[in-house]
Structure 1
């Protein structure tokens, strides 16, 4: 899943990464999915998730993440997110490649030279995290 902000020049997601993480954790509790890889860029979040049933829970999780983030965002704005969240269903055989692709997003964006250097990524999760729920970033 790829979530993008409506304002492509905004850095709200990294400024509010803890809130975003809590919103994802809330969706995980409700829809029971796991996250294999994650990255939060200034204006985009990518999640590689495993749902028990791809037809059940995906849209609900997206809606919950987006609405909870909008509701609790310090700006208290609506329409924070771009019109659509990109969802790509992949096979298990492709998952390792997609994980590498997701975790390399900060390198492609020119934010860091090595994926593990970006603090808002599962590639960086080898460092201590404050909480094990939600996206293992920041």
Structure 2
């Protein structure tokens, strides 16, 4: 089955990627490998990370692609492959993946959403930054270290006490 993906050169997209084993915590245990995979991919296939959060079992990112370029699928394939190659081969692999020579690190598919306007962009940035609180990992957004929230605070875009532990952000956005 072929999945239809949005195609808008130079656009901004929201993504959710999830580990195959949601109980593994691989993303945080190997956060350096994930950062490296993203950095190396961006060197060869540029994109701008507008916002990001990494949780134990999934991540959300908001990317803006270069003008004339809509190929986020190749970028995610490269990120997922580089991260997977950096890990020990100790995950459980089902028969379907084994036949295809795949690792069992990531869920095969991911959620993508073409950001439509400034309000949509702002909602997704807020969702990304509030996600660790939503999942009960911290009481305050500022307490989660693996988030672009800290860059937003450093740049004066958001105050450090933004969303102060309330549950003001609603919505599912790909989960």
TM-score range, shorter chain: 0.7 to 0.9
Equivalences for residues 73-112 of structure 1 within 5 A: 73-75=87-89, 78-93=103-118, 94-112=120-138
Identify the residue that residue 124 of structure 1 maps to in structure 2: 150
TM-score by length of 1: 0.84
Identify the residue that residue 132 of structure 1 maps to in structure 2: none
Q: Go from structure 1 to structure 2 and tell me whether the alpha carbon gap of 1:54 and 1:82 turns closer, same or farther (over 3 Å shift).
A: farther
Listed as ranges, the gaps of 5+ residues in structure 2 are 1-14, 92-102, 155-175
Q: Go from structure 1 to structure 2 and tell me whether the alpha carbon gap of 1:24 and 1:54 turns closer, same or farther (over 3 Å shift).
A: farther
2:56 pairs with 1:42: yes
**Per-residue deviation, 1:92:** 3.6
Q: Which moved more, 1:7-16 or 1:117-126?
A: 117-126
Tell me, in whole angstroms, the C-alpha distance in 2 between the residues paired with 1:76 and 1:68: 16
TM-score by length of 2: 0.67
SS at match of 1:35: strand
Tell me, in whole angstroms, the C-alpha distance in 2 between the residues paired with 1:38 and 1:102: 6
Q: Deviations along 1:106-135, whole A, 9 cap, x unmatched?
A: 0000000111110111113458xxxxxxxx
RMSD over aligned Cα, in angstroms?
1.8
Q: Deviations along 1:18-72, whole A, 9 cap, x unmatched?
A: 1100101112112211001100000001111101258632001110000001111
Equivalences for residues 52-71 of structure 1 within 5 A: 52=66, 56-71=70-85
Aligned 8 A contact 1:46 1:102 in 2 = yes
Identify the residue that residue 11 of structure 1 maps to in structure 2: 25
Identify the residue that residue 139 of structure 2 maps to in structure 1: 113
Aligned 8 A contact 1:5 1:80 in 2 = yes
